[in-house]
A and B are shown apart, each in its own frame.
Chain A
Amino acid sequence: MSEHRALNRRVVTLPFMLLGVLFLIALYYLGVRFVNGMGFVTNLNGGYAWGLWVVYDIVIGTALACGGYALAVVVYVANKGKYHPLMRPALLASLLGYGLGGLGAFIDMGRYWQFYNILLPWHMNFNAVMLEVGLCVAAYILVLLIEFAPVALEKFGNTNLRQKLNKVLFFFIALGVLLPTMHQSSLGSMLIAMGHKVHPLWQTLYLQPLLAVLTAFTMGFAVVVFEASLSSVGFGRPSETPLLSGLGKAIVGLIAVYLLFRFGEVVVQGKLGLLFAGDLGSLMFLLESALFIYPMVVLMSPGARSNSRLLLWSAVSMLFAGSLYRLNAFLLTYNPGPGYSYFPSVPEIMVTLGLVALEVMVFLYVVKRFPVLHGEKRA
C-alpha cells in the first residue's frame, strides 16, 4: 500500500559497531561530567561560557537538521508534490538532529535538574531570546515526532489511528514550518545581546534573525541533496538526481538573497575594510563567502544541476558554509576580552563525536526496519 519500504538489511554491521564504540567513549566522559562537574571534561571558562557542545550540538546541529523544514516548505507550501519521496528520510534526519540538539542542551546545562523551570510561566522571561529558543525547539521536537508517527503506525499496521492522524496532520505540518522559522531566526538573535564580543563582521544586530533563518534554509536544502545523493551511492539505490536538480534552482535564489543582505550590511555599515584586515576574522569571512558562492555559481548552469557529482559537491560546500557562519560568529572569532581563550578538550570532542555516532546508528536502524526510504520502482 505504501510507496515507502524498509531496507530489510542487517542492522549490526562493522561500521555500526565502530559507531557504537564511539558512543561508549562518549558515555564514559558524560559519566565524569555528571559525577565530577563540567570543568573536568571541558575547557569552558569565564570568558567562553559556550564551547563545542552548544555551538556544534545545538547551533550547528539543529541547522543541519533543517532538511525536514526546508523540504516541507517545498512540498506543502510551494506545492511541489514530486519531492514527496524525499520527505520521510529528511524528517527522520531532522528528528534525530533536533533530538541530539535537545540532548546536547541538557548535557551542557549546568543546573540540568532544574531544566523544567523554563516551562513554568512564573519563571519565564519573555525578553530573553533563549526562552524562545528553548520552548520552540522543544515544541518542534514534539511536532517532528507527530509528523514521523505515520511511519511507525504504518509499520505496526495501525490503520485506524493512522487515518485519524492523517486528518489533522496538515496542522502539524504547518507548525513544522512555523517553529523552525522562529527558533532558527532566534538562534541568530542570540548574538545581538553578546554585543561587542561578536566580531563586527558577524555582529549584524537587526539582520541577525534574517541571516540565521536564510542560512538554516540553505543548510536544510543542502542536507536533503547530500543525504539523497549519498544514500543512492551508499545503499546502491537509483539516483534521485532529476528530483534534486530542481532544488538546485531554489538554492541559487536563496544564496543570492543571503549574499545580498550579508554583503549589503558590510558595505552599508562601513565594514568593508575589515574584509582585508588580513586577520582571522577577514580570512574566515572570505572562506565562508567562497563556500556560499561556489554552489551558487555551479548550480546556475542547468548542466551542473543534473550532474550528481557536482550536486553533491555543492551540497557539501553549502553545509560547510552554513556551519562555518555559525562557528565563526559563536566561537572562532568570538572574543570575550583579554585573558580568555578556548579550544575544545579531547573529552568534549569525543562526547560530540559519540552523540553524532548515536544519531547515525539510530538513522541506520530506522531506515533498515521502518518504511522510510522511497520504493525503488518509482524513484
Chain B
Amino acid sequence: MKRRDFLKASISGAATLCSGGALARPNLEPAPNAVGMLYDSTLCVGCKACVSKCKEVNGMPAVIEGDWYSWDSARDLSSDTLNVIKVYREGEAEVKDRVENGFAFEKRSCMHCVDPGCISVCPVTALRKDAINGIVTYHADACIGCRTCMTGCPYNVPQFDYDNPFGEIHKCQMCNQAGVERINKGQITGCAEACPTGATLFGTREALLQEARRRMSLKPGEIYSYPRGDVSKPHSLYEKPAPEYQQHIWGEKEAGGTNVLHISAIPFDKLGMPPLRERSYASISETVQHTIYNYMALPAVVLGGLTYVVRRNINDDEGDKS
C-alpha cells in the first residue's frame, strides 16, 4: 500500500514534469534599440589602438608580455584587458587573410549576447542587460564572486581579478558603465572611435547587420566605400577593393545572436570562435529549470507525498517496537 502511494505521487509528479514541455523558453530577442559593433577582420591592421584606447577609457594599466611591444602586449582578456587583438598565424604567415601560410587578426571583447549566458547563470543578478540598448553590464555591489558567469560565457569574456583579495569581475560594458556613460552621452565606444581603418564600427545592431550584409554581397576586388567610427554617421570614408569575405556574419544567429558582429575572410573556427548552435544554452538551461521548478509545484507535491509516507512509516516503526 505505502509503496503504491509513493509510486502514485511519483507518477503524477513525472506527468507534471512532462507536461511542462510547454514551458520551453525560446532564445531571447534583440533589445529594441540594441547598439553594438561590427568588427571586420579584413580591415584590421593589428595596430591595437583600440586596446590602448580601451584602457584609457576604463582606467586600466598596459599589460606587457614579452619584449616585443609598442604600447600594450596583452595576449588575452584579463581583469586588466577588456579588449584584445589576437593573431591567427599559419605556416609562413606571409599573406593577410589567407588560411594557408597566412595570417589574420581577431578582436576579443564582450560580444554583448542577445541571450547572454552570463546573465542567465548569475544567482544574484550581478549581470544585467539594458532593456533598451541591450548592453550587458556588471554590478559589483551584487556579485558574490562565484564566477559562474565565467563558466556560462561561451567566449570566456568575464574575467575575475584573482590577484586582488577583494577582486571583482571585469568585462567590456561598451563604455557605458556608471561614470563613463559614453553611449548615453551620444558618443561611441572608445575602440570604435580609435580604430584608424574602420575595422571596429559602432552602430545599432540593425544598421551594422545591414552593413555586414552589404559587404557579404560585394564581389572580391569591387571598390567599396568603407566608413570609420559610427556606421550611421561616419566621421570619414575611404575607398578600397573588397576582399573575398566568408559568407558568414558571426553573431547574426550564434547562440541567439550577439550585438557585436564579426566578419572575416577566413573561417571563424580558425580565429578561435567557439562551436555554437543557433539555440542558446541559456534557453535550454532555463527551460529545464523552469520545467522542474514551475511555481515550485512539483517540489511541493513531492514534499507532500514524502511527508505523508515518512510520517506513516515512522508511526509503524514505533508500533513495532513498543
Bound Cα distance A213, B161 (Å): 34
Q: Which residues of A contact B23 (CB under 8 A)?
A: none
The digit string for B1-33, where 1 denotes a CB below 8 A from any CB of A, is 011001000000000000000000000000000
Residues of chain A from 124 to 158 with CB closer than 8 A to chain B in the complex: 124-132, 134
Q: How far is the CB of A196 from chain B (nearest CB, A)?
A: 5
Residues of chain B from 263 to 316 with CB closer than 8 A to chain A in the complex: 272, 274-276, 281-282, 284-286, 288-290, 292-293, 299, 302-303, 306-307, 309-311, 313-314, 316
B53-61, B96-104, B137-145, B184-192 - the one binding chain A: B137-145
Tell whether A49 pairs with B320 under 8 Å between CB atoms, given A79-B2, A118-B124, A196-B276: no
Q: Which residues of B contact A195 (CB under 8 A)?
A: 117, 154, 255, 274, 276, 281
Does A49 contact B147, Cβ atoms closer than 8 Å?
Answer: yes
B92 CB–A CB distance under 8 Å: no
B148 CB–A CB distance under 8 Å: yes
Does A117 contact B124, Cβ atoms closer than 8 Å?
Answer: yes
By Cβ-Cβ distance, the 4 closest A-B pairs, closest first, are: A110-B145, A39-B162, A111-B145, A49-B150
Q: Which residues of B contact A128 (CB under 8 A)?
A: 120-123, 148
Q: Which among A42, A130, A175, A338 is the interface contact of B303 at CB below 8 angstroms? A: A175
B146 CB–A CB distance under 8 Å: yes
The digit string for A100-131, where 1 denotes a CB below 8 A from any CB of B, is 00000100111111110110000111111111
Bound Cα distance A181, B307 (Å): 15
Tell whether A174 pairs with B306 under 8 Å between CB atoms, given A44-B162, A125-B125: yes
B156 CB–A CB distance under 8 Å: yes
Does A77 contact B289, Cβ atoms closer than 8 Å?
Answer: no
Does A129 contact B313, Cβ atoms closer than 8 Å?
Answer: no
Q: Which residue of B lies closest to A205 (CB)?
A: B284
Give the total of A residues in contact with B, Cβ under 8 Å. 72
Q: How far is the CB of B74 from chain A (nearest CB, A)?
A: 11
Does A192 contact B163, Cβ atoms closer than 8 Å?
Answer: no
Q: Which residues of B contact A115 (CB under 8 A)?
A: 144
Bound Cα distance A49, B158 (Å): 10
Interface residues of B (CB under 8 A from A): 2-3, 6, 75-78, 117, 119-125, 140-148, 150-152, 154, 156, 159-169, 255, 272, 274-276, 281-282, 284-286, 288-290, 292-293, 299, 302-303, 306-307, 309-311, 313-314, 316-317, 320
Q: Which among B76, B154, B289, B311 is the interface contact of A196 at CB below 8 angstroms? A: B154
Does B145 contact A129, Cβ atoms closer than 8 Å?
Answer: no
Tell whether A193 pairs with B282 under 8 Å between CB atoms, given A37-B165, A112-B144, A129-B289: yes
A16 CB–B CB distance under 8 Å: no
Tell whether A174 pairs with B148 under 8 Å between CB atoms, given A193-B282, A195-B117: no
Q: Which residues of A contact B276 (CB under 8 A)?
A: 195-196
Q: How far is the CB of A176 from chain B (nearest CB, A)?
A: 9
Tell whether A194 pairs with B313 under 8 Å between CB atoms, given A79-B2, A124-B125: no
Q: Which residues of B contact A117 (CB under 8 A)?
A: 124, 142-144
A165-173, A237-245, A246-254, A363-371 - the one binding chain B: A165-173
Interface residues of A (CB under 8 A from B): 34-40, 42, 44-47, 49-50, 75-79, 81, 84, 105, 108-115, 117-118, 123-132, 134, 169-171, 173-175, 177-178, 181-182, 185-186, 189-190, 192-197, 205-206, 208-209, 336-340
Tell whether A134 pairs with B123 under 8 Å between CB atoms, given A110-B146, A337-B156: yes
Bound Cα distance A378, B310 (Å): 24
Bound Cα distance A49, B159 (Å): 9
Does A42 contact B162, Cβ atoms closer than 8 Å?
Answer: yes
Q: Which residues of B contact A196 (CB under 8 A)?
A: 154, 274-276, 281
Does B165 contact A35, Cβ atoms closer than 8 Å?
Answer: yes
Q: Which among A36, A45, A114 is the interface contact of B144 at CB below 8 angstroms? A: A114
Some 15 contacts from A to B, beta carbons below 8 A apart, are A37-B165, A39-B163, A46-B159, A75-B313, A111-B145, A111-B167, A118-B144, A125-B123, A127-B282, A127-B285, A173-B314, A189-B288, A192-B281, A193-B121, A196-B276
